[in-house]
């Protein structure tokens, strides 16, 4: 049984472990580099507590975040996260990140996660924009984001250097109050 649910505090440890596994897949066995940072995510108590606090924070209040998990039985095999900005004057924006364990890709689940999160975001009166960043080389992600109405607003050349590879980073935005999106 595979389904998408909003993660609660009781899922925080499994989520942190999923992020570790997902980050380790980055750039190996011919995969595109989707995790360009030097420090891998960890599943320590501090990280788990941070998740719980953010998920218990009301959307629209500084510090909020919401994560939907793709679950196979009790195992998290994919996620999408919307994270509110950290300053009150940016509270009308949030940041999106998504990832699936390799064997669950290309079966429509990435699209289902996007639909779930974007539909929820559109229902939040306080939210106007969704931001995200990804590598110029990550064609799967770029195609997915464009399909959901995200537009490129800029490229930071040579933002990361991963094992000698220069990563150009794209910033994309989705205008949540643009009704044209609904007719796409």
Ligand X SMILES: CC(C)(COP(=O)(O)OP(=O)(O)OC[C@H]1O[C@@H](n2cnc3c(N)ncnc32)[C@H](O)[C@@H]1OP(=O)(O)O)[C@@H](O)C(=O)NCCC(=O)NCCS
Q: By CB under 6 A, name the binding residues for ligand X.
A: 34, 97-100, 105-111, 134, 138-141, 143-144, 147
Radius of gyration of the chain (CA): 16
Q: Among positive and negative, which fits the CA dihedral 108, 74, 13, 63? A: positive
Is the distance from CB of 63 to CB of 51 less than 8 angstroms?
no
**How far apart are alpha carbons 97 and 172 in whole angstroms?**
12
Q: Which of the 8 DSSP states describes residue 183?
A: G
Angle between helices 12-24 and 45-56 (to 10 degrees): 120
- Considering all CA atoms of the chain, what is the largest pairwise distance in Å, rounded to the nearest integer? 44
**How far apart are alpha carbons 184 and 17 in whole angstroms?**
36
Q: Where are the alpha helices (DSSP H) in 6-106?
A: 12-24, 45-56
């Amino acid at each position: 049984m595979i389904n998408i649910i909003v993660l609660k505090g009781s899922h925080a440890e499994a989520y942190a472990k999923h992020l570790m596994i997902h980050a380790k897949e980055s750039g190996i066995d011919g995969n595109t580099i989707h995790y360009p940072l030097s420090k891998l995510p960890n599943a320590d108590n501090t990280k788990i507590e941070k998740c719980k606090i953010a998920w218990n924070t009301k959307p629209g209040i500084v510090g909020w975040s919401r994560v939907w998990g793709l679950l196979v039985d009790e195992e998290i095999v994919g996620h999408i996260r919307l994270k509110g900005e950290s300053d009150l004057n940016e509270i009308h924006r949030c940041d999106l990140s998504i990832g699936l364990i390799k064997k669950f890709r290309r079966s429509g689940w990435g699209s289902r996660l996007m639909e779930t999160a974007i539909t929820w975001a559109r229902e939040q009166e306080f939210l106007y924009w969704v931001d995200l960043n990804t590598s110029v080389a990550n064609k799967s992600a770029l195609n997915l984001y464009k399909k959901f109405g995200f537009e490129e607003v800029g490229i930071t050349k040579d933002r990361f250097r991963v094992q000698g590879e220069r990563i150009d980073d794209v910033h994309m935005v989705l205008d949540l109050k643009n009704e044209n999106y609904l007719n796409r």
